[in-house]
Amino acid sequence: MKKYSIWSNYKYLYAYMWKYSPRLVVDNILEVITNALQPLIGVIFPSMIVGLLERGSDVQRLIFTCLFAFALAGVLSGLANYFKNRNWFYYIFIRCEIFWPLLMNKSMDMDYALYEMEDVQNSMSKAQSAINFNQRGIEGFYHQNILLLTSILGLGLYILIISNIHLLLVVFLVILSLIQYLFYVIAKRYDDAHRNEQAKRERHQRYFFNSSSEVKNGKDIRIYQLQNWLTSIFERYNRDYQHQEAKTKSLYYLYDFVGLVLQLIRDGVCYGYLIYLLTQGLNISEFVLYLGVVSGFGSWFSQISESIASLSRCLMEIRYYREYLDMKNIYLHDNGKVVLPDQNQTFEIEFDDVCFSYPDSDRLILNHVSFKIDSSEKIALVGVNGAGKTTLVKMLCGFYKPTSGRILINGIDLNELDINQYFDQVAVLFQDSVLFSYTIAQNVTGLKDDQIDRNKLIEVLKKSGLYEKVASLSKKENTYIGKDIEKEGIQLSGGQIQKLFLARALYKNAHLLILDEPTAALDAIAESEMYDQYASLVKNKTSLFISHRLSSTRFCDRIFFLEKGKIAECGTHDELMEKNGLYANMFYIQSQYYKEMSEDEA
């Protein structure tokens, strides 16, 4: 069976519905039945009245029949509205409580090397279309499937009635409806063929729209007057999107026009045949009944066509959603080797002839890199921008796999490790680490309030040097950062942010600490103070410090100088200065720069 087939998607979606609420499945069935019977009552009722008049029934019976019909119609209408409204809200609940978390968790758990790829980002964007809207994707499927099943049941009832006239009339009506559906298929195939292009345009639109409204971009946009540039790019993608949508809609308009023409043909033939039967002795009550059924037949079939059209798009988006969820990771998750059976042991790290190049690129970012870091050793990784420092860190973090060679953690190949358990043992301060618009406590711990160890939190805030600032706030560690969620939220300075990130790493109490130029936004003095603070807090931990400022490397046990993807020099600060090579040259240049700054200040 084809993966993600229509039947597969039906089972997938209704299995989750049954898991969420078995009663909801029953309510779906009842909604279909009541929806199908409502218009049938509307067709049968006038025929009954005419029939009673034909037979000369008394007024009392006529009134009783009308009251009964009105009551039945009212009950059906009330039940149909009840099931529709109840089911509508539960579809939203299912989408938000089941399918949103599934996608969020997949995006957060996916291996980083996959997650940052453009193709994967496009897949995620298409998957989001299945859960972002009421009338599309998963929720749209539930709505449209009700309409489809209602139409099929209603059409079946109408076919049973029309077949009493002549079977060829049923065949004629079906053929006209199939011709109309054929034009829909043409429009749908064109729509599907360009859906990937439109998804990419939508992602670009969202990016530029969000870029225009993000606070962090506000200063640059105003100072450099980027408004016209950003707007022009957004408008270009918007024009391309609208142009493609116009082409697609024109085919759907053609489908609607053909449907109108076929409806005229259908009504002309059917009404003419019914009038002929009326002249041949057909009862007026039967004429009224068949007239209503013929008129409704086209409506049911049109609704089937429209429901199939909408369902097809929904199923396509659901297929994108499931493809994204089923995307295979490249590392082992929850089933690999455990790196630290003894929790008192720190990391020993070895890069064994490691090479790395990005997919679809022949350029080696790391070129046969080999080194070993002993347990609890502090290493400084330095070099010019573009030397490969950040890539090396990402590989050590388990974000990228080597193109060749091995990365060993306590003698175990990183590819064989349980990557989730490995992440538990690593703390990284990236130069672009993220603050969330929640409380200081939640930003440090990554936990809900009732899960936070408050004593431990206060301890790490003190060690990181942030406690004095936190203690001065009215809500202490429960103060929000930023004003996205809480209007009384605060802004932290660059140095305070770095202290918070340090507190985050200390609270995690990982065995490996990596600092990837986290102080790049600080001045040289503040950076030196910060690194002194780091040095006093990383005892008994394996540590890797990356900095392009060499004044902060003296406290490290060894220094690796990376150039063009290779370890060009290795040793202590004094050893490398004595060697008078690349490291020493860079150190002298930076020292001269700081000296000139001091003289200017004097």
* Bridge partners for 356 per DSSP: 366
Residues in the chain with pLDDT < 50? 1, 596-602
Return the HEC string of 67-99. HHHHHHHHHHHHHHHHHHHHHHHHHHHHHHHHH
Residue 458 is predicted with a pLDDT of 94
Tell the burial category of 66 from Cβ atoms under 10 Å away from its Cβ (0-12, 13-18, 19+). middle
- Please tell me if the domain spanning 6-325 has the same topology as the one spanning 349-432+511-572: no
| 3-class secondary-structure state, position 170 | helix
Residue 599 is predicted with a pLDDT of 46
* Bridge partners for 412 per DSSP: 409
* Tokens at 235, concatenated: 């408008």
Residue 114 CA to residue 547 CA, distance in Å, equals 27
Residue 524 is predicted with a pLDDT of 62
Model confidence pLDDT, tens digit, residues 21-68: 999 999 999 999 999 988 888 888 888 888 778 777 778 888 888 888
- Alpha-carbon distance values, 585 to 127, 384, 417, 571 (Å): 51, 12, 40, 15
Determine contact, residues 398/512, Cβ cutoff 8 Å.
no
User: DSSP H helical segments within 344-418, as ranges?
Assistant: 389-396
Residue 1 is predicted with a pLDDT of 40
Containing 323, the helix (H) or strand (E) segment is: helix 284-325
Q: Where exactly are the structural domains of the chain?
A: 6-325, 349-432+511-572, 436-491
The CATH superfamily of 6-325 is: ABC transporter type 1, transmembrane domain (1.20.1560.10)
The pTM (predicted TM-score) of the whole model is 0.76
Determine contact, residues 145/311, Cβ cutoff 8 Å.
yes
| 3-class secondary-structure state, position 418 | strand
Model confidence pLDDT, tens digit, residues 194-227: 877 887 788 788 888 888 877 778 878 877 788 8
Residue 518 is predicted with a pLDDT of 64
Residue 387, by phi and psi: left (phi above 0), alpha (psi -120 to 50) or beta? Answer: alpha
| 3-class secondary-structure state, position 130 | coil
* Tokens at 593, concatenated: 């720069």
The pairs formed by 581-586 with CB atoms below 8 angstroms and a separation of 24 or more are 583/382, 583/550, 583/559, 586/382, 586/384, 586/550
At the topology level, CATH places domain 349-432+511-572 in Rossmann fold (3.40.50)
